[in-house]
Chains A and B, each alone.
Chain A
């Protein structure tokens, strides 16, 4: 395997030296392109007090293409499907090489605080969100309680 691009090394260093509140991203020792990520649910959202685990992978042509990110913790959210895949424009066609791991994780955290059922990935969840928001939020809360609390 060839050496890691300077950008990835520096981003990793800066994530450690200047961490983002409520977000951690730690690279694997044996694959520095693969990160274990934990995001705190934003306060005021149904995900509050939950810690959500994600995996993040930097493909070979990063930063010319977006990192691959997926939720590992089960989550009830109209823009996140059963497999943990995330529907977020900056992870797809609106990716820009000026964005970073840090900014992407912040966007994902923001998505937890502002679900967008009009642009769904998880269709049933989005339907429920639109037809009965109170119930959907209650479900999201209970899933958070069930799957995203520490001490498992």
Chain B
């Protein structure tokens, strides 16, 4: 180390400095304070004495006074406004408050892990609070040893930890009908979140109960009021399914299924039953409501796809996105997230000229399969109106399509699995709005956006 002053570049020092010992301790930390003080004194001794008018100290900001006491639960800074938004809005009615969606604030988040209290929710009959001491998980049907497990039992099995996204298959569904210009990243795409999940691999449970030959499917059912249930094919259970009880280092939250939920990496969220209480093995699908009436994808010819499980490759720019303001022309770093339920993101390209040209974004580490990946892209904004967008490719070779190409095939009643490229309009004043669903003639002419992205 050549110059000790590099260690504390923001603290004014000198023999007559009014730098208080208290502030020094705050800056340096109690542990290393003494060490730092002696170094500064030595470094400061080499400097000329300050002129008298430099001796007036700047006023202490209010936050340098006595701080808040310890609390048992962490707090978010009151200066940080970051919250979910739920579909029921102000409605006092119980159905609107318990059946619907709660969107994660994607435009305010960074990194790949979603803070657990901001994880999205899709509930069909409210969040249920289960006493884990009373909770039981029944495994029966085509198995040699029908069993019931307590949560303590489940936790005795060898555990595994993995980082994966969860996404409601209706996420981004506004893309089919066309969002309004003020539809934010949160309200458009906020039904996806990434967590570190811990639990027991399904294969362990399957061996423990002895799943029989010919048991090609299993029904998973929740203990909530809707007794949400879905069929899952055996191949997925043997591939990478887990029963998880840990989310980001703590017991999974009630909103994500405490005390136990199914995790099917990369698959639509609805299949990953929360508040899991029953698993029944059988020879075929059980054809529950959520794989017939809902979560089936209706095509323009009237046919409906069924068992469309993987969430396709998707990405979006989260900064700047609708509702943001780009402060001024000049250098800004665009960033966003990409993910694919089919595998691992291999690349994200960004266009800042309405899709006329694309450049590679940098994928930030870690890049994990079936998990959000954060990307960044340096941009010098020239102050003219711009449509900015990203498109991701995964290791199966699938690239996000332009919206009109998706609609050509799927029509507007498909509801689920919308994964087209998300265009944002940065206007000349820096205001950002959602360009999807707008007509090119309504956008500033110099954006040169092709209609197929809108």
Q: Do A and B come from one complex?
A: no
- Residues on B facing A (Cβ under 8 Å): none
- Residues on A facing B (Cβ under 8 Å): none
